[in-house]
Amino acid sequence: MSEAPGQAAASPSTPASAPQRPAPPQVIRREDYCPPAFGIDRVELRFELDEDVSTVHATLALRRAPGAAAAAPLVLDGEGLVLRSVAIDGRTLGPEAYAQDAATLTIAAVPDVFELRTVVEIRPQDNTELTGLYRSSGNYCTQCEAEGFRRITFFLDRPDVMARYRVTLAADRTRYPVLLANGNRVAAGELPGGRHFATWDDPFPKPSYLFALVAGDLRCHAGEFTTASGRRVRLEIWVEPENIDRCEHALRSLQRAMLWDEQRFGREYDLDIYMIVAVSDFNMGAMENKGLNIFNAKYVLARPDTATDDDYEAIEKVIAHEYFHNWTGNRVTCRDWFQLTLKEGLTVFRDHWFSADMGSPAVTRIAEVLALRTAQFAEDSGPMAHPIRPESYVEMNNFYTATVYEKGSEVIGMLRTLLGDAGFRRGMDLYFERHDGQAVTCDDFRAALADANGRDLEQFGRWYSQVGTPVLRARTTHDPATGRFTLRLEQAPPLAAGAGREAAPLLHIPVAMGLLAPDGSSLPLQLVGEAAASPGETRVLELREQAQSFEFVGVQEAPAVSLLRGFSAPVELDYPRSDDELARLMGADPDAFARWDAGQELARRVLLRLCDDAVAGRELVIDERLVTACGRVLADPRLDGSLKALALTLPNERILGQHQTIVAVEGLHRARQFVVRALAEALQGPLRAIYSETAPRGPYAITQPEIDRRRLHNLALGYLAALGDDASVALAVAQFKDADNMSDSQEALACLIEVGGPVREAGLAEFHARWRGDALVLDKWFTLQAVSGHPDTLERVLALAHHPDFTLANPNRTRALLASFGLRNQFHFHDASGRGYQLLADKVCELDPHNPHVAARLVSAFNNWRRFDSGRQAAMHAQLQRIAGLPGLSRSTQEIVARALV
């Protein structure tokens, strides 16, 4: 039985007079899960790849599932397939024996055990949706997760149907010299007519979403890895010929990830070959297909002159993430798509840990929390709010969200905190031991962790169904006479309206904390009734009730409380404390994350006050405490350059807006611009000194000290350039001219864009002339202009949408301009004229028929429309209605728009 009956065709057009409401969508619910009525043991596929029509021959060994109804028909998923023939056990079926609609093929009467053969035709060259089998730069490739395999052949396209695959590809030898699929290559040879073939066999049973093939003219950068048990694995990075000199970093990243998973989790790779293919047209970042990852080229290709430090780090992370899926996702997979966080939350957690081990744990953690707060907290307080294990969906592709990924990872992180590293490892070992080769649920995962540790994780399980960002309220009292210090913790449901305030069940929340004496030293942490203080300067309190009080003894002077060290739970902290207490934490907290967080809170308060001043038309005056605090950070010899840069980067306008009932678009922008300039003026001396001290001393190197140096160098440049004086602008111009690497070049250009005028035009023209033939670098050119704060950014973006190099056909290019603008540039996207909204909506309408998945992501820029003033609300609402009324709107975009309009 098919789990996800797709929708036949998009809804018919709505009459002009009717309210512009999308038709009720087909909802898939978690509670409706039924095991499949048939299993598939073996799959044999033969692809005849051709310029016009490609043919897919499928042979499936099927058997009725034990316990399934004896008369149940076979219902296969299939979309956009031209059926040529269907046969059971060698007998071709007549048309009366089966029925095909837009989403399924139903065969009424089938034996209990049988072989099904189908032949279908598809047209990969016309596939603009980029799921299923499609073409990119003239090469064939696939993307099957979540439900793309049904666009290739008729199948039980659901993750709990796991089968062994043998795949033969046949294609023209000259145009497609390279033929790849999952597993090991077992045969290859010539065919008549200038064609050739290759056969691949994957010994590991897998769900269809992990199927992949690639055919094209590609070059290979190869390497090797020897596993802990001594098996030699061949590693291959496949790219278009001109990119062969940009693969080494990806290869090294893969080797590091393989070693790390052995050392940290005892997990070895299981095939003799691991291939990664880089393609230019890809909806997502990368895909973990068994033995044959397919990547957005952005997350593979790196050369110092084309990729920034951030790009290098992102590549390492994404390569590791897809590699880690081999165990968390492939060997143990999801029973159904509601369990997505089982593999994605867990694998994000693993790639975070890996990144922390490879670079700086503090910097990694800060970046994660920043991403969580910016994207996930916003999602959790808007119309797309959902639990990390959603209860329902219309289009699964819409649920690859910050919540499932980032909050999902935080939930695993809390388990690690509660169980400790050794306990967590025991739990993971038991999980793999119990479930290797199975399709399982989040509950199975939690049970393995609980059983391995003899712990009750029942209450903890509520994190899987909880919606919205919970509030952690903290209040303290101190009695100097008795030396008692009381910390009262309370949990409250999310602040966001409609998130189910009344019904919120009590969560199990780990709160890592410490106490600081007025001199900044850490205090011993001993609770009343305990014989001694707990070891170390941090302890984890477990909040399980609605409110709990923790009474510490031996606290003579009023301490500063450091709460949520390392951001031990994905909550919003409500703890009113003085600016002085924040300043104390900022300077002395032993936890680097908590230091940074205290600084961000201080800056946020200053910015929000200034925003109020700006809105009220009062004069803006910089708070000296912020200047002093930033000056101290700059001068602190204990902090590396990356940490200084993070500490001195003010909270972005989107995060600030989350702390207002109605986002004050202009006020926030003015306040932030003002503080940047005020800090730059006040700290000019140290900033100039730092800029020259951190100047490059040799050729580019991608080492941690060099990355730290560049980050601080470019942070200083950014502040100085904000002054706009000739000397500072000259620094940016010189850096842009002299840079031997993309980090320094891009940051200099970003500064020139803010400065505006002739230096901006010259810089942009030069960058464009140099990189126009390099799609990934040209994307940066679009993005830098789209995220700029310069007053004429909206005009720019409107013009860039008509630039000859702009195209909606390539997802990276679309995102470089439009997602950057709509999702990252709060001030200009929300221009009071509404022209930003108009542009985005126009492009969504234009893109939706070709690539609904990317269109649905873009349209989510309107999700928080209720958080703005009435004029902006009306303008966004009108655009949403216009999109909703579009004839033939895709299921993907329709779902997002419908939720936004509810």
Active site residues: 322
CB atoms within 10 A of CB 747: 25
Which residue lies nearer to ligand BES by CB, 289 or 649? 289
DSSP letter (8 states) at residue 101: -
321 near ligand BES (CB under 6 A): yes
What are the distances in angstroms from CA 72 to CA 37, 107, 109? 7, 10, 8
- What is the smallest separation between the CB atom of 371 and Zn ion, expressed in angstroms? 15
Token output for 702: 């991608």
Which residue lies nearer to Zn ion by CB, 250 or 748? 250
By a kind-dependent CB cut-off of 5 to 8 A, residue 146 interacts, out of Zn ion, ligand BES, none, with ligand BES
By a kind-dependent CB cut-off of 5 to 8 A, residue 848 interacts, out of ligand BES, Zn ion, none, with none
| CB crowding 334-356: b at 16 or more within 10 Å, else e | bbbbbbbbbbbbbbbbbbbbbbe
- What is the smallest separation between the CB atom of 468 and ligand BES, expressed in angstroms? 23
By a kind-dependent CB cut-off of 5 to 8 A, residue 318 interacts, out of ligand BES, Zn ion, none, with ligand BES
Which residue lies nearer to ligand BES by CB, 344 or 706? 344
Among positions 160, 281, 288, 706, the unique one binding ligand BES when judged by CB under 6 A: 288
Q: Which residue is nearest to ligand BES (CB)?
A: 285
146 near ligand BES (CB under 6 A): yes
Among positions 325, 389, 669, 857, the unique one binding ligand BES when judged by CB under 6 A: 325
Which residue lies nearer to ligand BES by CB, 314 or 541? 314
- What is the smallest separation between the CB atom of 669 and ligand BES, expressed in angstroms? 29
145 near ligand BES (CB under 6 A): yes
Query: What backbone torsions phi and psi does residue 893 show, to the nearest 5 degrees?
Result: -65, -40
322 near ligand BES (CB under 6 A): yes
Contact range with ligand BES by CB under 6 A, out of 280-288, 377-385, 462-470, 569-577: 280-288
Query: What backbone torsions phi and psi does residue 542 show, to the nearest 5 degrees?
Result: -110, 115
157 near ligand BES (CB under 6 A): no
Among positions 49, 210, 348, 749, the unique one binding ligand BES when judged by CB under 6 A: 348
By a kind-dependent CB cut-off of 5 to 8 A, residue 287 interacts, out of ligand BES, Zn ion, none, with ligand BES
Which residue lies nearer to Zn ion by CB, 367 or 645? 367
CB-count exposure of residue 872 (10 Å: 0-12, 13-18, 19+): buried
CB atoms within 10 A of CB 800: 18
Q: What angle do CA 66, 67, 70 make, to 5 degrees?
A: 95
- What is the smallest separation between the CB atom of 850 and ligand BES, expressed in angstroms? 17
- What is the smallest separation between the CB atom of 344 and Zn ion, expressed in angstroms? 5
Token output for 453: 């540790």
Contact range with ligand BES by CB under 6 A, out of 273-281, 284-292, 568-576, 774-782: 284-292
- What is the smallest separation between the CB atom of 854 and ligand BES, expressed in angstroms? 12
- What is the smallest separation between the CB atom of 400 and ligand BES, expressed in angstroms? 4
Contact range with ligand BES by CB under 6 A, out of 166-174, 212-220, 317-325, 470-478: 317-325
CA distance 563 to 560: 9
SS3 806: coil
- What is the smallest separation between the CB atom of 327 and ligand BES, expressed in angstroms? 13
CB 151 within 8 A of CB 81: yes
- What is the smallest separation between the CB atom of 745 and ligand BES, expressed in angstroms? 25
285 near ligand BES (CB under 6 A): yes
> Which amino acid appears at position 24 of this protein?
P
CA distance 574 to 490: 10
Which residue lies nearer to ligand BES by CB, 167 or 856? 856
By a kind-dependent CB cut-off of 5 to 8 A, residue 254 interacts, out of Zn ion, ligand BES, none, with none
789 near ligand BES (CB under 6 A): no
358 near ligand BES (CB under 6 A): no
CA distance 848 to 855: 5
CA distance 471 to 460: 16
CA distance 46 to 162: 19
CB 413 within 8 A of CB 310: no
Query: What backbone torsions phi and psi does residue 520 show, to the nearest 5 degrees?
Result: 90, -5
CA distance 365 to 567: 8
Sites for ligand BES among residues 405-434 (CB under 6 A): 405
687 near ligand BES (CB under 6 A): no
- What is the smallest separation between the CB atom of 284 and ligand BES, expressed in angstroms? 3
Q: Strand runs (DSSP E) across 304-405, as ranges?
A: 333-334, 392-393
Per DSSP, the residues of 611-654 read HHHHHTTPPP---HHHHHHHHHHHH-TTS-HHHHHHHTSPPPHH
**Footprint of Zn ion on this chain (CB under 5 A)?**
344, 347
- What is the smallest separation between the CB atom of 4 and ligand BES, expressed in angstroms? 14
Longest CA–CA separation in the chain, Å: 95
Question: Which H or E run includes 273?
Answer: strand 273-279
318 near ligand BES (CB under 6 A): yes
Which residue lies nearer to ligand BES by CB, 411 or 643? 411
Among positions 400, 445, 567, 593, the unique one binding ligand BES when judged by CB under 6 A: 400
What are the distances in angstroms from CA 478 to CA 198, 514, 581, 589? 75, 15, 14, 20
Strand 38-48, strand 163-172: pairing: parallel
By a kind-dependent CB cut-off of 5 to 8 A, residue 400 interacts, out of ligand BES, Zn ion, none, with ligand BES
Contact range with ligand BES by CB under 6 A, out of 196-204, 313-321, 761-769, 785-793: 313-321
Cis peptide before 146 (omega within 30 of 0): yes
By a kind-dependent CB cut-off of 5 to 8 A, residue 286 interacts, out of ligand BES, Zn ion, none, with ligand BES
375 near ligand BES (CB under 6 A): no
What are the distances in angstroms from CA 424 to CA 228, 322, 427, 428, 429? 22, 21, 5, 6, 9
CA distance 848 to 334: 29
By a kind-dependent CB cut-off of 5 to 8 A, residue 372 interacts, out of ligand BES, Zn ion, none, with none
Nearest to 718 by CA among 698, 681, 748, 757: 748
CA distance 312 to 305: 12
344 near ligand BES (CB under 6 A): yes
Among positions 287, 819, 847, 884, the unique one binding ligand BES when judged by CB under 6 A: 287
Among positions 284, 457, 489, 840, the unique one binding ligand BES when judged by CB under 6 A: 284
316 near ligand BES (CB under 6 A): no
Query: What backbone torsions phi and psi does residue 177 show, to the nearest 5 degrees?
Result: -65, -25
Total residues interacting with ligand BES, rule: CB under 6 A: 17
Q: What pairs with residue 274 in β-bridges?
A: 235
SS3 801: coil
840 near ligand BES (CB under 6 A): no
Q: Which residues bind ligand BES (CB under 6 A)?
A: 145-146, 284-288, 317-318, 321-322, 325, 344, 348, 397, 400, 405
